[in-house]
Amino acid sequence: MSRTPPARRLRLGLPRRVFSQVLLMQVAIAAGVAVLATGLFLAPLSKQLDNEAMHRALAIAQTTAQDPEIAEDLRRTPPTVDGPVQTAAERIRRITHAEYVVVMDQRGVRWSHTDPRQIGRHVSTDPRKALAGEQVMEIDSGTLGRSARGKVPLYDADHRIVGAVSVGIAYDSVRARLMSAIPGLFAYAGGALAVGALAAWLISRRVQRQTRDLAFSDISALLAEREAMLHGIREGVVALDRGGRIRLFNDEARRLLSLDDEAVGRLPEEALGAGRTADVLAGRVTGTDLLTVRGQRVLVANRMPTDDGGAVATLRDRTELERLGRELDSTHGLIDALRAQDHEHANRMHTLLGLLELEMYEDAVEFVGEVVGDHRVTAEQVTEKIQDPLLAALLVGKATVAAERGVALWVSDRTRLPDRLIDPRGLVTIVGNLVDNALDAVGGTPHARVEVELRTEGRTAVLRVRDTGPGVPVEQREVVFAEGWSTKQPPAHGKRGIGLSLVRRLAERQGGSATVGEADGGGAEFTVVLPEALTEPGLEPALAASVETAAAEEAR
């Protein structure tokens, strides 16, 4: 026996598309509301018609009982078909269109009735309340069927109860009035349902456009995939609404920007503080692959607007790439310096060879001593003043590069730096960036010179780097520390404008400052103050670094 393939089986239940589901549900709701409203209207209408019929029957009975001749005839005449009581009752019945008008004596015997055969017989319903002086309204069944009834006592001239009057309104007439009202009511309900269905269709069309006619399951799957993708990618993602407030961010953005859950619903400057990073996220700085610094990280940011007026910003961590790029620049510089030094070394060797061939041995010894002495003196001068090995090695290498560029790099006589730095790598980054910046500034100028001064005041380290370049105008002395600002062409690996910004960030991270002013004799003078940069005398730098790190973690 063949079986229908699963792909071709008939699917029962709700349709998959959001448009169809929303339309179906809204039409069902509108129909339910229409039926409920109709029922709620019909229930009180039926009760109201019953009350009207009972009050009408009671009013006819009261009017009949007020006729003194009926009470008098009831006392002095027998219950006959052509008697005065029957004649008066039938006249009232025809005038009022009642179903019956029954006049009874105190025993409950009929003196009048629509059916003459019932005259002289007992009534079919209990007459005791009416004969006791009460007025009765009810829906009950009698010899003529179900009717709305009104019963009142019948008094004589001396105000004594001599009988009762019972009047009935046919219940079929009440039901007929109710049924006649239903078609009109259904017409109104149908009209309301049609309007509701039209409104549901319009709303469903709008939902269809907004959901791109996807099924609810597809939307749920897209949401789950978005969450997985958002938190799985290794780029920071920050979404902003049309008001510029942070709508959501992924785990990588939380790590790169040090955000917490309270950042949702806040402006970037409120969550991150004023700065270039907040300006990039807010769209106040435009462009592609914008560089920004957050803490110790160099970030590359891109911002793309969305259709709803918001935006999505992506962030990539370029810290390692920027560091490798700067090292690559330094390596290229060293290679050029080595090439030049190779030529110079070849010239010196040729000179030495010539002196030896001319048997000028004393001059050859003196020449070799001068060449070797120059390099030794430079290294010895640096290591005497700067006892930290990393920083001393950096300045010796920078001196060699400066010499190959035709720039005189001097370490000031006032420089004194003991081997007690808490963060030597941070200071190496600061000095390297400032020296490179100074070497670039004095390039191509006559008598180019760069001077480095590094001294301590207690545990505070003060660094000054002076050059003989064109200097920094007063109006730009704060702008030069901004991220991305540079007057030079970008290198092949990325963009400039990071070095001085990192210098200030590293200084401020240690509670210090970085400023620029005018050097004596012209040029620029960069000053960096690093409080608490050195350990107490006798305390090992590694131990001090551990203490500082622990204190910083506890403060956070």
pLDDT along the chain (556 residues), means of 10: 41 55 71 68 67 87 89 88 90 89 91 89 87 87 74 89 89 58 67 73 70 62 67 82 88 86 88 85 83 75 87 82 58 58 70 81 74 58 83 81 81 88 83 89 85 90 92 87 60 54 82 89 90 69 43 38
List b or e across 301-313, with b for residues whose CB sees 16 or more CB atoms inside 10 angstroms: bebeeeeeeebeb
**Structure tokens given for 372:** 């070797």
DSSP letter string, 214-228 = -BHHHHHHHHHHHHH
**Structure tokens given for 7:** 């792909």
In the chain, CATH 3.30.565.10 sits at 386-555
In the chain, CATH 3.30.450.20 sits at 22-177, 233-317
Q: Do 15 and 24 meet the contact criterion of CB atoms below 8 Å apart?
A: yes
Residue 168: CB partners within 8 Å, gap ≥ 6? Answer: 57, 98, 99, 100, 102, 142, 144, 147, 148, 149
Q: Which residues pair with 163 in a beta bridge?
A: 105, 154
Residue 413: HSE in the Cβ half-sphere, 13 Å Cα cutoff: 0
pLDDT number for residue 440? 87
* Residue 554: its H or E element: helix 541-555
3-state SS string over 67-79? CHHHHHHHHHCCC
CATH number of this structure's domain 233-317, picked from the four choices 3.40.50.10860, 3.30.450.20, 3.40.50.2300, 3.40.50.150: 3.30.450.20
Residue 198: CB partners within 8 Å, gap ≥ 6? Answer: none
Helix ranges, 66-167 (H):
68-76, 84-96, 128-131
Give the distance, in angstroms, between the CA of residue 264 and the centroid of all CA atoms in the same chain. Answer: 6
pLDDT number for residue 496? 47
Q: Do 118 and 143 meet the contact criterion of CB atoms below 8 Å apart?
A: yes
Task: Give the Cα separation of 419 and 538 in Å (integer).
Answer: 11
pLDDT number for residue 528? 94
CA dist 546 → 171, 258, 456, 505, 530 (Å): 100, 23, 22, 21, 18
Q: What kind of architecture, by CATH, is found in domain 386-555?
A: 2-Layer Sandwich (3.30)
Q: Do 538 and 418 meet the contact criterion of CB atoms below 8 Å apart?
A: no
* Residue 430: its H or E element: helix 424-442
Residue 49 neighbours by CB distance under 10 Å: 19
**Across the chain, which distance is largest between two alpha carbons, in Å?**
182
CATH number of this structure's domain 22-177, picked from the four choices 3.40.366.30, 3.30.70.2860, 3.40.50.720, 3.30.450.20: 3.30.450.20
Q: Side chain identity at 212, as an amino acid letter?
A: R
- Indicate the DSSP class of residue 113: -
Q: Do 155 and 132 meet the contact criterion of CB atoms below 8 Å apart?
A: no
pLDDT number for residue 299? 82
- Characterise 521 by phi-psi region: left (phi > 0), alpha (psi -120 to 50), beta (else): left
Closest CA to 391 of 454, 329, 322: 454
pLDDT number for residue 148? 84
pLDDT number for residue 556? 40
Task: Give the Cα separation of 74 and 66 in Å (integer).
Answer: 13
pLDDT number for residue 336? 57
Q: pTM score, two decimals?
A: 0.41
